[in-house]
Structure 1
Amino acid sequence: MNGLDAESVGKAVAAARPDVIVHQMTGISRVHAGKPDTKHWDRYFATTNRLRTEGTDHLLAAARATGVGHVVAQSYAGWNGVHEGGWVKTEQDPLYQGTGTTFSTSADAICHLEDVVVRAGGVALRYGALYGPGASDDQVELLRRRQYPLVGSGEGYMSWVHLDDAASATVLVVEQRARGVFNIVDDEPAPAREWLPYLAASAGMRPPLRVPGWLARLLAGDVPVSMMTEGRGFSNARAKRELGWALRYPSWRAGFREGLQ
């Protein structure tokens, strides 16, 4: 189906007659978006943002038309907690809006998705930065090319989650018909100065280069600078408490070492 075509979505859902719709549509594969382009974040994520807005609206309309009572949708909780206060955020804390940056369109799309899905009685799963087979290839390749530097102080936080753990949380949400918003991240949000060198070592690469913020902004745009110097991670306490979620990889440390291949 074409997730951006309401008629196509409606026909696909009507034909499938599902009990639950799980919305994992993105447009960031190389087939759709080309090489990662952090300098033009808004362009690189343009199709994904449309899928988070128009695509979500089409799925919800199809769900209503066919009597599907539960919709689960992919949201994001990597580094985009509001950039003030503590370094680790819960579901009650606002998200970073990226005002004045190329991230703002993504922030708007994420907020739209969460708002309409939760108001429809569904659940938004804020996955951390995904890694694991097929999900880490671009990052490892950038490290290999010495194009993934540590920016500035590297004090900005990131939350990670292995693909297997993201999948297991999604299954729990479907089975339990959970509602609301859940951070689907591991137990150890950490600053870039810790996880990036560890990722390089786990992939058999040399330590990353370090560049000042002004140079990174010039070469790679405002989003990587914001991520690595101001990013906020997320707490998974609610998901573990309410869903009974048990992680295979509670920390990216073991996950990077064991789960990249």
Structure 2
Amino acid sequence: MKIFVAGATGAIGQQLVPQLVQAGHQVHGMTHSAAKEQLVRELGAEPVLADALNADQVAEAVGRVQPDVIVHQLTSIGPLDFRHFDRGFAMTNRLRTEGTDHLLSAGQAIGVKRFVAQSFFAAYERVGGPVKTEDDSFGVGPAKEMRQTVAAICHVEERVLAATWTEGIVLRYGGFYGPGTSLGPDGEQTEAVRGRKFPVVGNGAGVWSFIHIADAAEATVAAIDHGRGGVYNVVDDEPAQVAEWLPVLARTLGAKKPMHVPRFVARLLTGEIGAVMMTELRGASNAKAKRELGWSPSHPTWREGFAGLTTPHPVGQEVR
């Protein structure tokens, strides 16, 4: 198939494009930077230069390529600051709203057969059991520091799933780790753990679901080839509480044991979002993705996957 990847030079794009090429697909990778066209070629794809926030450029690019599938992996994430979370995701939120609409419009104009888009597991409602399935709802009251970010994620999902003219597929990825991510060998979160700046908050009962960046790409290929439309959680086999996984990560990195801070202190330092993510977050089940996509993560749990974080890798960024 002919596949158009928007966000081809991002962390997941750099994993996804070579896997699609290896699977025999003809891949066109969109980037807004002429300086990154050579990187797209090195990944095995034909570069397409277009700004995702420019509707005319996107329409022209998609119309010229005439793909069977559009894959939306557009992000541009700034430094992580919990107190100003939406500020760090401002450009990504535009890419998930305006960029999504431009890609969908361009895809509809040529009758693209399948549209696959990136979402995130952490918006699930924070009530009920600790692990959510695709049938569970997103919460109606996200932490105030990330309301715009959650709204943008919901926009992606609603628009893609409402596109009756194509087969819309939404992938709710777990927290990325591995090369090119903030939880990579030299990533921002990794360094915070090494420096004891990533504490366990309160009871540390927030449940996180992780996915190695290479496994996320493999699941995306499987969704392109076998997805039936709808939503899939793309996470590993072991959702875990912060109080469990964070000390293991610190030990793996050779760092001191994480500090513990009361929830009220975390709220003062990081705002509501830090307390929520560390104490209330719900994880996600990958049963549907394994069943329908024929996919299983090569890193079944974060326990073995984190071991690879001690090996240096070049650090990239998720960019459009």
Shorter-chain TM-score: what band?
over 0.9
Deviation at 1:259, TM superposition (A): 5.3
Structure 2, unaligned stretches of length 5 or more? 1-49, 312-320
Q: Counterparts of 1:81 and 1:150 in 2: how far apart (Å)?
A: 21
Q: Cα deviation per residue 1:105-156 (whole Å; 9 max; x = unaligned)?
A: 1121111111111121310000000001121111111112321111111011
Contact 1:97 1:104 in 2 (8 A): no
Match of 1:134 in 2: 180
Of 194, 197, 207, 2:247 maps to 197
Deviation at 1:233, TM superposition (A): 0.3
After superposition, the CA RMSD in angstroms is 1.4
Q: Would the alpha carbon gap of residues 99 and 173 (structure 1) be closer, same or farther in structure 2, given more than 3 Å must change?
A: closer
Match of 2:129 in 1: 86
Structure 1, unaligned stretches of length 5 or more? none
Give 2:63's aligned amino acid: A
Of 109, 112, 117, 2:160 maps to 117
Give 1:41's aligned amino acid: F
Of 41, 53, 65, 1:4 maps to 53
> Higher mean Cα deviation, 134-143 or 161-170?
134-143
Match of 1:207 in 2: 257
Deviation at 1:90, TM superposition (A): 0.3
> 4+ runs of 1 displaced by more than 6 Å?
none
How does 1:1-261 map onto structure 2 within 5 Å?
Answer: 1-28=50-77, 33=78, 35-77=79-121, 79-99=122-142, 101-120=144-163, 121-135=167-181, 136=183, 137-258=187-308, 261=311
Q: Would the alpha carbon gap of residues 100 and 184 (structure 1) be closer, same or farther in structure 2, given more than 3 Å must change?
A: closer
Deviation at 1:66, TM superposition (A): 2.0
Q: Counterparts of 1:226 and 1:156 in 2: how far apart (Å)?
A: 7
Q: Cα deviation per residue 1:56-113 (whole Å; 9 max; x = unaligned)?
A: 0100001011221211000001x33211110000000011333461121112111111
Contact 1:162 1:259 in 2 (8 A): no
Q: Counterparts of 2:310 and 2:176 in 1: how far apart (Å)?
A: 11
How many residue pairs match? The answer is 255
Q: Counterparts of 1:255 and 1:170 in 2: how far apart (Å)?
A: 19
TM-score, length basis structure 1: 0.93
Give 2:202's aligned amino acid: G
Contact 2:52 2:102 in 1 (8 A): yes
Contact 2:125 2:138 in 1 (8 A): yes
Q: Counterparts of 1:184 and 1:119 in 2: how far apart (Å)?
A: 21
Q: Counterparts of 2:171 and 2:145 in 1: how far apart (Å)?
A: 23
Q: Counterparts of 2:143 and 2:257 in 1: how far apart (Å)?
A: 32
Q: Counterparts of 1:96 and 1:255 in 2: how far apart (Å)?
A: 29
% identical aligned pairs: 50
Give 2:124's aligned amino acid: G
Q: Would the alpha carbon gap of residues 51 and 127 (structure 1) be closer, same or farther in structure 2, given more than 3 Å must change?
A: same
Q: Counterparts of 1:116 and 1:260 in 2: how far apart (Å)?
A: 40
Task: Please give the secondary structure, in 1, of the residue aligned with 2:170.
Answer: strand
Give 2:131's aligned amino acid: V
Task: Please give the secondary structure, in 1, of the residue aligned with 2:145.
Answer: coil
Q: Counterparts of 1:183 and 1:49 in 2: how far apart (Å)?
A: 20
